[in-house]
């Protein structure tokens, strides 16, 4: 048996190496490179996502700033302009309409995205009758003040109307009473004069004290004697009571405003200060009236106490 030569072993090995070389090269090209020690593996997809997210955040920030600046621009003009632009956004591209508002025209020309997306940039505008739109704290505060002032004005108006009507009713009743008494007195005088047949009897009756009092009597005193000026005790007491009540009311409003929210605290605090100021004014007026009455001698000094021992 002949011994195989070296050539017979090399030919199959070389043939296998030639056939498997392309596949090995392709696998080596597709295998990712191992990162260096201590380094961060490269991720192109993750880096692209972070870049897109960062650009979106920047765009949102710029859009918000643009909307705030556009809001400030519109607030320089009447509020009806913003409502009209929200109802008809096509006016943002109408140069003839915007010619009357140069600030808005310049802003829209510098920021064309406002005309492309008017719903976003005019989202804060509340149209008339749009009660479902959210209100800012400033709008809530203004509405509270308006409602409170309207209610106060209505209450004061109704109070004055009731007082005026009561005054008219009182004057009418007094006039009717005066007419009735005057008619009774006239009839009495007429009947009395008819009883006298001679002028001498009439003159004697008029000159008598009873006849003089009867003829000089009147249903309502028309020329009363001047009254003596006395100390206004009633007014002083009323002023003192009203001042104390108003001051306590003001203190209560201040306490309520301290425990209320930021939207309702300022008006309550304002009314509290006003009530306390009125209360202090009433109290001071009562004190001043008392001092003036003492100096003018309208208040009599207390009589000295008598000693019963002597």
- Contact call for residues 257 and 265 (beta carbons, < 8 A): yes
d(Cα 254, Cα 262) in Å, to the nearest integer? 13
Q: What is the pLDDT of residue 43?
A: 55
Confidence class of residue 205 from pLDDT cuts 50, 70 and 90?
Answer: confident
Label residue 37 by pLDDT band (50, 70, 90).
Answer: very low
pLDDT, mean over the chain: 75
pLDDT in tens, 39-72: 445 455 555 555 545 555 566 678 889 989 998 9
Q: Do 86 and 122 form a contact (C-beta atoms < 8 A)? A: yes
In angstroms, the CA 244 to CA 250 distance is: 10
Say what percent of the chain tops pLDDT 90: 19
- Per-residue pLDDT band for 165 (boundaries 50, 70, 90) equals very high
* Cβ atoms 63, 70 nearer than 8 A: no
Q: Is the pLDDT at 272 greater than 80, yes or no?
A: yes
Over residues 215-252, the pLDDT tens digits come to: 666 544 444 444 544 557 788 888 899 999 999 999 99
CA atoms of 136 and 75, how far apart (whole Å): 15
Residue 171 scores a pLDDT above 90: yes
What pLDDT does residue 128 have? Answer: 55
- Over the stretch 13-28, which tens digit does the pLDDT of each residue have? 556 556 655 555 545 4
| Predicted structure pTM score | 0.38
Query: For residue 256, what is the enclosing H or E element?
Result: helix 233-258
Q: Would you call 297 exposed, middle or buried from its count of C-beta atoms within 10 A (0-12, 13-18, 19+)? A: exposed
Residues 6+ apart with CB under 8 A from 128: 83
Structure tokens at 232: 């206004």
Answer with the residue of higher pLDDT: 77 or 299: 77
pLDDT grade for 208, boundaries at 50, 70 and 90? confident
**CA dihedral sign of residues 133, 136, 271, 254:** positive
């Amino acid at each position: 048996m002949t011994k195989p030569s070296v050539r017979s072993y090399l030919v199959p090995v070389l043939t296998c190496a030639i056939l498997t070389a392309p596949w090995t090269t392709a696998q080596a090209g597709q295998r990712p490179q191992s990162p260096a020690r201590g380094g961060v593996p490269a991720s192109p997809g993750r880096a692209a996502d972070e870049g897109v997210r960062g650009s979106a955040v920047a765009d949102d920030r710029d859009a918000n700033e643009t909307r705030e600046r556009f809001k400030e621009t519109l607030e320089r003009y009447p509020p009806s302009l913003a409502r009209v632009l929200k109802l008809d956004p096509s006016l943002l591209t109408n140069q003839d309409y915007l010619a009357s508002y140069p600030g808005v025209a310049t802003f829209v020309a510098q920021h064309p995205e406002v005309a492309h997306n008017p719903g976003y940039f005019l989202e804060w505008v509340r149209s008339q009758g749009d009660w479902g739109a959210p209100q800012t704290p400033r709008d809530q505060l203004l509405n509270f003040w308006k409602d409170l002032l309207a209610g106060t004005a209505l209450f004061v108006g109704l109070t004055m109307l009731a007082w005026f009507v009561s005054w008219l009713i009182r004057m009418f009743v007094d006039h009717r009473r005066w007419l009735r008494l005057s008619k009774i007195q006239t009839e009495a005088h007429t009947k009395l004069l008819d009883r006298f047949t001679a002028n001498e009897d009439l003159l004697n009756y008029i000159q008598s004290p009873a006849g003089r009092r009867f003829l000089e009597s009147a249903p309502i005193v028309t020329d009363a004697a001047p009254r003596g000026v006395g100390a206004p005790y009633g007014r002083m007491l009323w002023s003192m009571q009203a001042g104390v009540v108003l001051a306590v009311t003001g203190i209560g409003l201040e306490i309520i405003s301290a425990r209320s929210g930021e939207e309702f605290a300022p008006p309550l605090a304002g009314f509290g200060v006003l009530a306390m100021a009125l209360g202090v004014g009433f109290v001071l007026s009562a004190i001043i009236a008392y001092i003036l009455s003492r100096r003018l001698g309208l208040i009599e000094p207390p009589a000295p106490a008598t000693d019963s021992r002597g």
